Chains A and B, each alone.
Chain A
Amino acid sequence: MSGKNNINMSVKIEKLKLKNPVMTASGTFGYGEEYADYVDLNKLGAVVVKGLSLKPRAGNPPPRIMETTGGMLNAVGLQNIGVEAFIAEKLPFLRKFDTKIIANIYGESYDEYKKIARKLDAAKGVHALEINISCPNVQKGGLSFGADPKTAAAVTRKVKDATDLPVIVKLTPNVTDITAIAIAVEKAGADAISLINTITGMSVDIFTRKPHLKNITGGLSGPAIKPVALRMVWQVLQKVSIPVIGIGGIMNAEDALEFLILGAKAVQIGTANFINPQATMDVIAGIEKFMQMSNVANINKIIGTFKP
């Protein structure tokens, strides 16, 4: 919506209107405040906060992260302060900003998903929910819900019944056919789909013969996964009609544009935040520059212009 040169970057994800298509990816931007010294949060399309569970979670024992070629493995294990503390302690700060707040939620049972959704629905300042049915680093819930079309649909339905907020379902790439899950959650009422979460992976210390992560396996993110993410976004786009949000290894505006051109309505920036706290700002500026260069005034004229 930058007034400069009449460039319009606003996009709509069902009833969720974003000033631009750039969001932060859950788990890479804390609760927003961690990066508030570096990024003008007002300039973001949306802030997606760290996954919230019903009760606080301590997370996994360290070591939790390891850099691998072109990416990083993490097994944080959804450490978070819990939905109630989020509403009481973190949301008031986020409400001060002119951006959309998307709460990523994680439950160990249908009932937990429902309860978290109800609490956030009642809280002022949350604009949408993103359901995490795809965390690879926790024992219960998460991935097991996301790996089966039936359970994925059931979680989606439970959350939809519990809230009037737009519901985005975040999909895992760790399945044989991601389109089957995408179709199932669309049918169950999802307002949008975001993908991909991290790809499970591991790394071995050849000297100690131990895994680099205490959890043994972790989720791979970063530039290494971008081609996989693009492929999956492309496959899902051909099977669903609800908006798709592209995530996976976006480091700069060019990477983001690849997803948008495929047809993703928006993108999420994750691991790039760690390397450059202003990565989201650079991506927004880069997209704007690309639009000026290509003489396109409206971002929607770029979205879905892929020519296979």
Chain B
Amino acid sequence: MAKNIYIGEIFKNEEIAQDCFLMSVALHSTFAEPQPGQFVMLRISGISEPFLARPFSIYSFQRETDFCRIDLLYQVVGKGTQILAGLIKGSQVEILGPLGNGFEISQSARNLVLIAGGMGAAPLSFLAEYLDNKVCSGSSKIYFYLGARNSETLIGMDKINNLTCTAVICTDDGSLGEKGLVTQILAQDLKKYAPDQTMIYACGPKPMLKELAKILQGTKFKCQVSLEERMACGVGACLGCAVEVKGKKGMAAYKRVCADGPVFYIDEIAWKKI
């Protein structure tokens, strides 16, 4: 009964890559510690359009002495994010969260393989940071496959550079790192990892995740994916953010990305319908 919307104050909102912004918001220190893969619903205070909040995955979270700081990455794709990009320091936003189920953290896997495409770098670099700080010891290693359209749109490098991990960068046009889709590069590397000693974590555009599902089909790799869908409430009530999962006897069944996800095991999703 204690949860509520937090009013946050923007203290940084800058373009870090083409059409991609990093927003830092100061929140009251009672804001709960988010787990990697969780998200927040964000609304600009005092405006009537757009009037619904939008989901944003969490890129960073820091506890300062008397407040906490949450970092979000977003791409300018429509009216709402355009307005968001125009907000200046001191503007207020309403934040509900942290919401949803984050990534299940594997304590036993030797290979922690992270695959991010485009904006998928936001939750996965948060995860990588978490794994690097809290999980990884001598016996487990992080392999981070990071893909983008080109070098201008690539995000997440600032964080990855500070981590102990093997990073594989790829761009569709070859302007940075390897040329090709992140899924293609991973497919080539897959034989390096023993399925029973590996946990794969992925986030990115739907076609990328769909391709990943195809690559992993028939293998014994365990893979968690973080999904995105249009949402209204973020707490499981509106049933707007449905994703089709494999139902019994071929019947359609849907789960809520917000409350049942946003992280799912990849083999749970009915990719053929997506």
Contact = CB atoms under 8 A, between A and B. Distances in A.
Do the two chains belong together in a single complex? yes
Interface of A: 27-30, 34-40, 50, 58-67, 69-70, 72, 74, 76, 79, 222-223, 271, 273-278
A104 to B, nearest CB: 14
A27 to B, nearest CB: 8
Contacts of A271: 232
A275 B1 contact: no
A62 B244 contact: yes
Contacts of B2: 37
A70 B49 contact: yes
Contact of B232 (A36, A58, A72): A72
A275 B43 contact: yes
Contact of A28 (B43, B53, B231, B237): B237
A65 B237 contact: no
Interface string B229-254: 11111011111111110010001111
Q: How large is the interface on B (under 10, 10 to 19, 20 to 34, 35 or more residues)?
A: 35 or more
A186 to B, nearest CB: 31
B51 A58 contact: no
22 contacts: A27-B238, A34-B237, A38-B3, A38-B4, A39-B1, A59-B242, A62-B230, A62-B242, A62-B243, A62-B244, A62-B254, A64-B242, A65-B232, A67-B51, A70-B49, A72-B52, A74-B232, A274-B52, A274-B53, A274-B232, A277-B3, A277-B4
Interface of B: 1-5, 43, 48-53, 96, 229-233, 235-244, 247, 251-254, 259, 273
B251 A74 contact: no
The 9 closest A-B pairs by CB, nearest first: A65-B240, A30-B237, A274-B233, A34-B237, A274-B232, A37-B3, A34-B236, A58-B252, A76-B239
Nearest to A212: B230
A65 B230 contact: yes
Contact of B239 (A79, A223, A276): A79
Contacts of B96: 277
Contacts of A40: 1
Given A36-B1, A66-B230, A67-B232, 14 more contacts: A29-B237, A34-B233, A37-B2, A50-B239, A62-B230, A65-B230, A67-B52, A70-B51, A72-B52, A76-B238, A79-B239, A273-B233, A274-B232, A277-B4
Contact of A35 (B48, B229, B235): B235
B262 to A, nearest CB: 14
Contacts of A72: 52, 232
Contacts of B229: 62-63
A79 B239 CA distance: 8
Contacts of B48: 70, 223
A74 B5 contact: no
B235 A34 contact: yes
A27 B233 CA distance: 11
A35 B251 CA distance: 29
A278 B5 contact: yes
Contacts of A35: 235, 237
A274 B239 contact: no
Contacts of A30: 236-237
A274 B247 contact: no
Nearest to B243: A62
A27 B238 CA distance: 6
Given A34-B259, A59-B239, A276 B232 contact: no
A61 to B, nearest CB: 7
Specify which of B236, B239, B247 lies most central, judged by the most chain A CB atoms within 10 Å of its CB.
B239
Given A34-B259, A61-B273, A65-B230, A274 B4 contact: no
Contacts of A79: 239, 242, 254
B272 to A, nearest CB: 12
Contact of B230 (A28, A37, A63, A275): A63
Contacts of A223: 48, 51
A36 B236 CA distance: 12
Contacts of B236: 30, 34
A34 B43 CA distance: 20
